[in-house]
Structure 1
């Protein structure tokens, strides 16, 4: 992994976030504006990153086997990460419901919105494709275990799984079908997906920056004393633990590096939606998301240097 590429990529991310924040001072961030950005990123840009990866790499049986391995690692990682953070939350004697919220915010990262474009930039099309597979594991955990934990009545309904049918997941399924059938899309499709894939990272960072000023303008106190807990676990303790485990089992190479960086992503943006729907502490999620996103501009290069 080229540390220079990581540092320059993170530097560009920081500049784009700043531009987005400056832009938000002159534009009213209405619900419609947010919806357009989310729609374009989740349903157009990120799926294009995935399909561009499929079109640009050799989707052999070995590649599909690696994708299955990454998906299995992702499921195990996200479940064990929740258990790992939960143990410490209870050791610190957080009350039961608050411990659950701190656990979710500290354990689950933004492997899709930020992770997929970042992996594609650093590791190339194959990195973007495997990052999407890794993010699919997070989606399964989000819309099953996480909703179960956040809902006061603690009930799981199969209707919750409808949220798994989204743009990135559809793109993954389409990509696998294309790989299995050996279909070669026309050049115009390759060029289109390549161009749209280039929008993912810039749009995601601009969106993050545009949401920051409205958050800071809120008159009531939005910070909370325990903010350090999800920040430390999300950005440092969880990825460092993954790195240690990989060293112990001698799992290395660029795939391992990609997974460690995914483990060091800031708190998942999807949690703001889940907290808004299933709890009365949406601001807790939003503050954690922005705090970890801004600090990740420092911690991600640090993780990259530690993997050299």
Structure 2
């Protein structure tokens, strides 16, 4: 049942990706518009979705009962950081590519791919799991992630402001509302619900256009990409998933974790890699390539884990 839902959802994603790809090919979405479209989705649409889906129907008891997700996230990041470091040492990519390789394969696309997929699989608690996972995810992304993205000839600049981003604010506000039992006025509730219904399609259209404009075919010529895909997006989620299914933790929590572990590279990784270093193009290739193959690899992970 879960496998068929994942396959259906990935086919749906692929269909909407094609819409974005065709829109880019026809010039409807220009390449210079992509950064603005990404900002619209990541700074407005996704935070609204994360806030509303975490807030709606979630109780204090549900938060406490599922707090183990934070521990699972921390454990996963310890494992994936060690694994990608070993792979990078073995492959020895030139220059700063070793660090950027780790950066790209440690942090998954929780926003554009994880959010719509978890909502489809677990409408009641999928976003709660993602919100708890994101507490660790965002903390590490803006510290260890920035360090990995920073070129050897530069110094990483990490400030408190780095952690104040729309998604973290959305999660914090949602948890505050849940803990104090606050309720939104009906008109605001309806407004947020209307916005959140558009997020999945907007995210996929953006990613389809991103694939069109990215030099992802070049990424397929590097062995780094294949090792990263096979290990991070297939083998690791299957092995860790099978172990987690033996722990007795809630089934939906474990499957949410399995999906999160198998996600393609986070969309903002190339932007951060370009901002702090010199390997933005390398990161962009990995990002687009992993996104393209995730249409197949995520269902493969679910199939072999079950």
Whether TM exceeds 0.5 here: the answer is: yes
Task: List runs of 5+ in structure 1 lacking aligned partners.
Answer: none
Task: State the match for 1:266 in structure 2.
Answer: 264
Shift of 1:166: 1.5
Aligned ranges for residues 109-258 of structure 1 at < 5 Å? 109-151=108-150, 152=152, 155-159=155-159, 161-216=160-215, 224-226=221-223, 227-247=225-245, 249-251=247-249, 253-258=251-256
Distance 2:51 2:251 in 1: 24
Partner of 2:43: 43
Asked if structure 1 preserves the Cα contact closer than 8 Å seen for 2:118 and 2:256, the reply is: yes
- Find the aligned partners of 1:203 and 1:234 in 2 and give their Cα distance: 27
Distance in 1 (CA, whole Å) between partners of 2:277 and 2:288 is 19
Per-residue deviation, 1:229: 2.2
Structure 1 pair 213–95 and aligned structure 2 pair: CA distance change class (3 A): closer
Superposed displacement of residue 94, structure 1: 4.3
Give the drift of 1:250: 4.4
Worse-superposed segment, 279-288 or 130-139: 130-139
Partners of 2:110 and 2:135 lie apart in 1 by: 9
TM-score by length of 1: 0.89
Q: Secondary structure at the match of 2:58?
A: coil
Q: Give the match's secondary structure for 1:274.
A: helix
Q: Give runs of aligned pairs for residues 70-81 of structure 1, distance below 5 A.
A: 70-81=69-80
- Which 5+ residue runs of structure 2 have no aligned equivalent? none
Distance 1:240 1:212, change over 3 A: same
Q: Given that residues 11 and 297 in structure 1 are in contact (C-alpha distance below 8 angstroms), is that contact kept between their aligned partners in structure 2?
A: yes
Q: Indicate yes or no: 2:267 matched with 1:279.
A: no
Distance (Å, rounded) in 1 between the aligned partners of 2:71 and 2:161: 21
In structure 2, distance between residues paired with 1:217 and 1:306: 27
Change (3 A) 1:154 1:257: farther
Aligned to 2:294: 296
- Report Cα offsets for 1:257-290 as digits up to 9, x if no partner: 0010010000111211111112212111111111
Number of aligned positions between the proteins: 303
Task: State the shift of 1:153 in Å.
Answer: 5.3
